[in-house]
Structure 1
């Protein structure tokens, strides 16, 4: 099984876009990317816009080549309405999506999902509601979890986790569990014992505000359970890489599990970590920004400033 991590926060944008080739089919998960509209009271820097456009082109290239497109939920860093990624990617594709009517918050149920699906239905070969289902496509098994919280409650909605099984070689993409915090978020991973797990990690940049210390403690314990359960490679990224202090968690996990590969998406792909969002103040302090008055296209959430030196308090 060939895995390419196309766009992630460690590469400078908000995304978890993943491309997978099994023996018989090509799959892309969450072909979209976005920027935080505000961080540290600042809009995205022009360097962030440049990176967003660069990675959007890579996402488009891989999505056009895919047989199956998976959408784990309806936040704009996980699906795109044609703003950055052309809608042609859905033409004649098998599209598997989060249930748009059940276990979903109001904004996604009443607006985002129906708008998106109305467009996709006109283009896709077939559209499948994926929650808690198993699909076998040309010998590749694609299994989805039941809907679980996007984080610690239903405020931001629900997501579905996905496993790709290619003759027993398994990878799981958790989507936005912000941890995993709860038992029903980790159980899909523990049950299926993936060789590789792509996990979004704890939302430490909101620690003490929208992410509690209890959430962080539960998340770290569950990540350790995953590694104890036999996962060989752990990709930790997305929410976790919006905080420059992420490296402290990595250091601790690597010391406890020296045989496991614990990497950011950038490191997995042989790239240098480039957390542009977490470095936004530095980018502005270094000089001008031609797009200073422009807003990012991430409509998921209004980010606030990162909590500094969080690890001194834990």
Structure 2
């Protein structure tokens, strides 16, 4: 598949078809339905949704294949809600799209974490322009699957942005071997790819930096770099989610805000939160 258009008029929806899962979509009316928080919020959500997708080219994961039940439902709802707003809606799996001098390629979906798990599949994206190549591999959780590692090594991108493993679930929902495999695969990737940005799950764990230490050492031996996204801008990483509890203790909300938060939803929708600056 090939297409061309002006810059700034396309949107990419990959990963697990999550667009539409954060805010439920009424597929029959093609708008965001009431969330139980009042019509004012409903109207605002509808306007935001339309502003994001109207007139855009949407390249989304195919909701009919390589997909689990939850993904299929969200993907169908998303397409129903956006197809009439968008300039064009296309399933991107295994497709190639050209926008000016920039080429987007979407390989076949890869497992979200372990192969044959109930978590479904994610859609990688490769961006190429001139002699540069960026590979975006979201939610691969390591990766821990050989086919994902092989795909990355075949492509040999200059920059890889990759979802790390969910270490905060270690010993709770995921066994140690999962993480040993993730470390081995990351070391293998960093032996070939000159720059890797690690993102998503692993940064939810306060021990993320220590966990990645063996991978970082392997990268240094090859004169390669393992970074957090902020380090691309030469800024220190400040992941907030792993510090949620301590940040709350440092700056607790006021009693007035907590009282408002404990109101029934229908009352909260009619009364703005008491915020302090």
TM-score (norm 1): 0.66
SS at 1:257 equivalent: helix
| 1:132 and 1:143 in contact (8 A); partners too | yes
| 1:199 and 1:237 in contact (8 A); partners too | yes
Q: Name 2:194's counterpart in structure 1.
A: 232
SS at 2:144 equivalent: coil
Structural RMSD (CA): 2.5
SS at 1:155 equivalent: coil
- Segments of 4+ moved more than 4 angstroms: 76-85, 290-294
Aligned CA distance change for structure 1 residues 106 and 203 (closer, same or farther; 3 Å)? same
Aligned CA distance change for structure 1 residues 79 and 175 (closer, same or farther; 3 Å)? farther
Q: Name 2:243's counterpart in structure 1.
A: 279
1:267 aligns with 2:236: no
Supply the distance in 1 between the matched residues of 2:6 and 2:94 (Cα, whole angstroms): 21
- Of 148, 153, 160, the match for 2:123: 160
SS at 1:289 equivalent: coil
Q: Say which one has the larger Rg.
A: 2
Between 1:123-132 and 1:262-271, the stretch displaced more is 262-271
Unmatched tracts of structure 1, length 5 or more: 1-23, 27-65, 295-314
Higher RCO (CA < 8 A, seq sep 6+):
1
Supply the distance in 1 between the matched residues of 2:20 and 2:146 (Cα, whole angstroms): 25
Q: Name 1:105's counterpart in structure 2.
A: 68
CA-CA distance at 1:206 after TM superposition:
0.8
Q: Name 1:255's counterpart in structure 2.
A: 217
SS at 1:220 equivalent: helix
Aligned length: 230
Supply the distance in 1 between the matched residues of 2:21 and 2:76 (Cα, whole angstroms): 15
- Map of 1:1-314 to 2, 5 A cutoff? 26=7, 66-72=8-14, 73-75=16-18, 83=45, 86-110=49-73, 112-152=74-114, 153-229=116-192, 231-258=193-220, 259-289=223-253, 293=261
CA-CA distance at 1:77 after TM superposition:
9.7
CA-CA distance at 1:117 after TM superposition:
1.2
Aligned CA distance change for structure 1 residues 175 and 25 (closer, same or farther; 3 Å)? farther
Supply the distance in 2 between the matched residues of 1:77 and 1:121 (Cα, whole angstroms): 13
TM-score (norm 2): 0.74
Q: Name 2:272's counterpart in structure 1.
A: none
